[in-house]
Structure 1
Amino acid sequence: MDTSASRAQLIADDTPARLAAKDSTLWGPAAEAEAAVRLGWVDTHERSRELVARLRELRSTLREKGLTRVVLAGMGGSSLAPEVITRTLDVPLTVLDTTDPGQILAALSNDLENTVVVVSSKSGGTVETDSHRRAFWQAFEDHGLPDIGGRFVIVTDPGSPLEATGREMGAEVILADPDVGGRYSALTAFGLVPSALAGVDIAELLDQAAEFAESITDEKDNPALALGAALASAKTVTIAPDGSGIVGLGDWAEQLIAESTGKDGLGILPVVVDGPSSPGFNGEGVVPVTVGGSAVGHLSTSGHLELAAVAVNGPLGAQFLAWELATAYAGKLIGIDPFNQPNVTESKNNTNAILEGGLPAEEPSFTEDAVEVYGGEGDTLVSALRSLVGAIGDEGYLAVMAYLDRVGDAPAEGLRDLLAAATPAPVTFGWGPRFLHSTGQFHKGGRLTGVFLQITGATPEDLDVPGKPYGFGELQAAQAAGDRQALNKRSRPLLRLHLTDRAAGIAQIVAAVKELAK
């Protein structure tokens, strides 16, 4: 790829300096109002320093009370950055970004006496996070633990419903920067509070970002500008770790890129893979990016350096800021507003309607051992999958959406590589409902070329959501059904596989997909 024209365009528009100055007109008149209240992330690494001493003191206070286990209840931008930070620095943090009852029950059954729960929601109305809060409060009560309110730390925007709830609970309430959108919030309270309470030195992350920020107005030595130009040249970007020691950055970048660019029928499809040797890392129309490693390129006949692969090197704090800047640059080049998310609420609204009116009646097309097959074509699991893969168009992609337990049902994630080996098309994998807060925007608002494999599972043991007329299992099923409605509305090919026995069903699907590659 030759990105020189894109870089030249950004420089001609004085984009680096204007973005550093938080110029909300960069993305055009339609985006100006949104951008005017969404550019706090450009220098939040400086303004977040006021959190350092406060969080150090709060962690000390919590540990004096014996609260040494930190659980984070959050979705999307409220959970992905803290997970990357703590995994990279090998600090224990239990992340709940699911409605799967098995995963939640496991979190509730472990060391409650020493648990503090960080409840993070920018809007303050996130249904998953509110449900987690209710479940932990009930569990603390059932175990007869004292000072329940003191076992919660609330992170939310000023004036949100969760701020009022947190104060009523007697919880510690930390207000986040309202001028930063969720997916750009890695270095705000949303990324830093759970990380610091778990034991991370957040000052070091801010220092890393501050050092990198010195480059953001430079027109020549500007890594974020180069990355943004490369992203904008792609319809699909693959992201792989390559020896940097940073763990899981691709999942965070996936949300940032997909939700920021996937709208108005446009966008960059991010595909997260395990490494540069993973199936699908390279391919026609794909820009491969490694976190770590070395860039690969050659000089074109015109003398420009054409990159075959992009390498992004640097410490974690710098990585966060670099990718955020690059995504904003790419948004300008593509011609979209990188700060709104017009289609994210659709599946949420569908879910609420289903919870009120009940799950739709559906009958499987056929059942094969532990797998019920809904929709699609074919009369065997293999033929149904073969038909779905065959429906991928020339510029299409396959998205695997697993409404399962990402800990207990972890082998399902291996389906991405297996399916990528069976088709030249890009293949993504997302855990539901977690992906609804990231790639879900691209699925519905981006390029309408996707075909979809949804996997759901039976719930051996459900868990009531305290104060609500439904359990987590029903909520999870309603979210999956609501997502199906949104995709069916767009007439996208969709195959649903429901596992009556999760372990056996996953093994069956794995075996069936292996047949496709033969």
Structure 2
Amino acid sequence: MTVEIAARGAAKEAIDRTVPQLVDDLVASRITAQDETLWGPDAEAEASIRLGWTEAVAVSEPLVEEIIELRDQLREAGVNHIVLGGMGGSSLAPEVITRTQGVDLTVLDSTDPGQVRAALSDRLATTAVVISSKSGSTVETDSQKRVYEAAFREIGIDPAERIVVVTDPGSPLDRSAREDGYRVFNADPNVGGRYSALTAFGLVPSGLAGADIRELLDEAEAVTLQLAQDSPTNPGLILGAVMAGTKPLKDKLVIVADGTHIRGFADWAEQLIAESTGKHGTGILPVVAGPDAPEVTHPPADVQVVRLVADAAATREVNEGEVEISGSLGAQLLVWEYATAVAGRLLGINPFDQPDVESAKAAARGMLDDRPAPTPPLFTDDGIEVRGDIGQGQQTLDGALQALLGSLGSDGYVAIHAYTDRTAYPELESLRDAVARRTGRPVTFGWGPRFLHSTGQFHKGGPAVGVFLQLLAPSADDVEIPGRPFTFGELIAAQAAGDATVLAEHGRPVLTLTLTDVAAGAAALRRLLG
């Protein structure tokens, strides 16, 4: 099935006005030809080594048999459970692939001790682990690898028999993993993590878990020729115009799953768009929302709603001002990658770098090195500890929330960052809609620390209009990281504190709430938010 897009209102006007110029500029064929000059002189060096995703289908095809062969070997050895240790695009692509195909894959993209412990206690004796990292220096992924190595040894299993590594050729992880006897799959080094869905990073964990990765590549291949053509019907150009061509710019892109068979796609698209476009004070903020979300039923003027549907406007007219898009998963992955690259050109930014992601990592490392004494709360209300400059002078949780949300501008957004176990406390996501109703503004929700590798770039490098609500829930049962002087609990605390520090340094208002009892704290917040 090809990708179909239907639009009305400002999005349709943007398509009609922008796509002809993109066609005249040969943007589609130049992206396919890996022309690094498309995004200006400042982007050329990075773009010259980041366009390999345009040929991912062809490059990845030889991997399919290798992955299937290893899957069969693992099954013969009694393995019936695959865990993925990865962050950002390395985890979000396999998650959407396996969820869409109904395949079991445990995605460990967290440093929360509870989530780590739950993964370790789930079928360890029959588990194989995929460790995915371009360099291997990612602290989360390195910690996940260390804890699984120790766990396997403890039950008498050689880690080399159960750990599979996906990384760039020649990376530190590539060298150390081969020396230690691990099975290694190399990905194309000319593909950034968020564009890597159709490379080894997306295919290896998905395929080992049982997904039909050959079908996925076939779906992508079916749209490859269309995406390469300088044509007004090219879905990559059309979607790129929707993202970044409206005038005035609707820079909040609300992505709604509404009838599509694809599960979790908006979360993957969120990290692709936010990290690619949010820099130099500009960007497109993706917002993952449901069909009944306030941003959808009563969209502000700067919101563009995009619905992921089964058939784009096949049996009805598109809602005024909205966009509908349909298609197979493999095709959609490639279309959204092209569209994001197109959006970068329209915005005048480099869609392949992430200059502000490192700042939060450096701040977290500093916290782990210096081990500053915990900051005492300003006060505690309803069992919730309140911290942050925005809460100064307040004496109640309600007052602190009002101070934060009262700092929200007419073009702003709220970002909720939950540094806790997303598998144990999914109810925290319900706070997103509550805050959106309360403020009438777009609200994003991110699980920490995984969002640091994606939307974290937008929050620091994009327009300075966000206000930030951190939710922390310390685990009573910490987990050691073998060979490291810090625990998982200390790591996630440092990541939260480090990000709050960097956001504050960028002039963003931050309120940090520590929920000593998550269920009770979430209920208290819902009551206060109305």
Q: Please indicate the TM-score interval, normalised by the length of the shorter structure.
A: over 0.9
Cα distance change on mapping 1:424 and 1:294 into 2, 3 Å: farther
- Structure 2 counterpart of 1:204: 215
Whether contact under 8 Å (1:293, 1:311) holds in the other structure is no
- The question of 1:339 aligning with 2:352 is answered yes
1:475 maps to a residue whose letter is L
Counterpart-to-counterpart distance in 2, 1:200 and 1:406: 23
1:240-263 CA-partner distances (Å, limit 9, x unpaired) = 111111000000000000000000
1:82 maps to a residue whose letter is P
- Structure 1 counterpart of 2:5: none
- Structure 2 counterpart of 1:302: none
1:311 to 312, 324, 333: 324
Whether contact under 8 Å (1:295, 1:309) holds in the other structure is no
1:442-492 CA-partner distances (Å, limit 9, x unpaired) = 000111111000011122100011000110000000000100110110121
Whether contact under 8 Å (2:111, 2:140) holds in the other structure is yes
Counterpart-to-counterpart distance in 1, 2:411 and 2:476: 39
Residue 87 of structure 1 deviates from its aligned partner by: 0.5
Residue 265 of structure 1 deviates from its aligned partner by: 0.6
1:289-317 CA-partner distances (Å, limit 9, x unpaired) = 01115667xxxxxxxx9961111110000
1:133-144 equivalences in 2 (<5 Å): 133-144=145-156
Residue 439 of structure 1 deviates from its aligned partner by: 0.7
Residue 426 of structure 1 deviates from its aligned partner by: 0.9
- The question of 1:286 aligning with 2:299 is answered no
Residue aligned with 2:417, SS: strand
Counterpart-to-counterpart distance in 1, 2:361 and 2:87: 13
1:9 to 12, 18, 21: 21
Counterpart-to-counterpart distance in 2, 1:359 and 1:117: 34
- Structure 1 counterpart of 2:398: 382
Whether contact under 8 Å (1:499, 1:505) holds in the other structure is yes
- Structure 2 counterpart of 1:368: 381
1:164-203 equivalences in 2 (<5 Å): 164-203=175-214
Whether contact under 8 Å (2:23, 2:232) holds in the other structure is no
Whether contact under 8 Å (1:359, 1:481) holds in the other structure is no
1:76 maps to a residue whose letter is G
Whether contact under 8 Å (2:27, 2:230) holds in the other structure is no
1:63-78 equivalences in 2 (<5 Å): 63-78=75-90
Residue 218 of structure 1 deviates from its aligned partner by: 4.0
Whether contact under 8 Å (2:503, 2:510) holds in the other structure is yes
Residue 213 of structure 1 deviates from its aligned partner by: 1.0
Residue aligned with 1:453, SS: strand
After the TM superposition, which of the residue ranges 95-104 and 16-25 deviates more from structure 2? 16-25
- Structure 1 counterpart of 2:519: 503
Residue 224 of structure 1 deviates from its aligned partner by: 1.4
Cα distance change on mapping 1:148 and 1:293 into 2, 3 Å: closer
1:110 to 119, 122, 129: 122
Residue aligned with 1:454, SS: strand
1:478 maps to a residue whose letter is A
Counterpart-to-counterpart distance in 2, 1:81 and 1:142: 31
Whether contact under 8 Å (1:295, 1:307) holds in the other structure is no
Whether contact under 8 Å (2:103, 2:211) holds in the other structure is yes
- The question of 1:255 aligning with 2:255 is answered no
1:7-156 equivalences in 2 (<5 Å): 7-145=19-157, 147-156=158-167
Residue 110 of structure 1 deviates from its aligned partner by: 1.2
| Superposed CA RMSD | 1.5
Counterpart-to-counterpart distance in 1, 2:361 and 2:496: 10
Residue aligned with 2:376, SS: coil
After the TM superposition, which of the residue ranges 467-476 and 360-369 deviates more from structure 2? 360-369
Counterpart-to-counterpart distance in 1, 2:319 and 2:241: 12
Give the TM-score taking structure 2 as reference length: 0.93
1:92-118 CA-partner distances (Å, limit 9, x unpaired) = 000000000000000001111100000
1:312-364 CA-partner distances (Å, limit 9, x unpaired) = 11000000000000000000000000000000000000111110100354121
Residue 379 of structure 1 deviates from its aligned partner by: 1.9
- Structure 1 counterpart of 2:496: 480
- Structure 2 counterpart of 1:348: 361
- Structure 1 counterpart of 2:467: 451
Counterpart-to-counterpart distance in 1, 2:456 and 2:373: 21
Give the TM-score taking structure 1 as reference length: 0.95
Residue aligned with 1:486, SS: helix
Residue aligned with 2:294, SS: coil
Counterpart-to-counterpart distance in 1, 2:405 and 2:137: 37
Residue aligned with 1:215, SS: helix
Whether contact under 8 Å (1:359, 1:478) holds in the other structure is no
After the TM superposition, which of the residue ranges 215-224 and 121-130 deviates more from structure 2? 215-224
Cα distance change on mapping 1:306 and 1:34 into 2, 3 Å: farther
Q: Which has the higher contact order (CA 8 A, sep 6+)?
A: 2
Whether contact under 8 Å (1:209, 1:321) holds in the other structure is yes
Residue aligned with 2:354, SS: coil
Counterpart-to-counterpart distance in 2, 1:35 and 1:42: 12
Counterpart-to-counterpart distance in 2, 1:166 and 1:293: 42
Counterpart-to-counterpart distance in 2, 1:513 and 1:139: 43
After the TM superposition, which of the residue ranges 161-170 and 62-71 deviates more from structure 2? 161-170
2:302 maps to a residue whose letter is G
Aligned positions, number? 505
2:136 maps to a residue whose letter is G
Counterpart-to-counterpart distance in 2, 1:170 and 1:294: 48
Whether contact under 8 Å (1:155, 1:173) holds in the other structure is yes
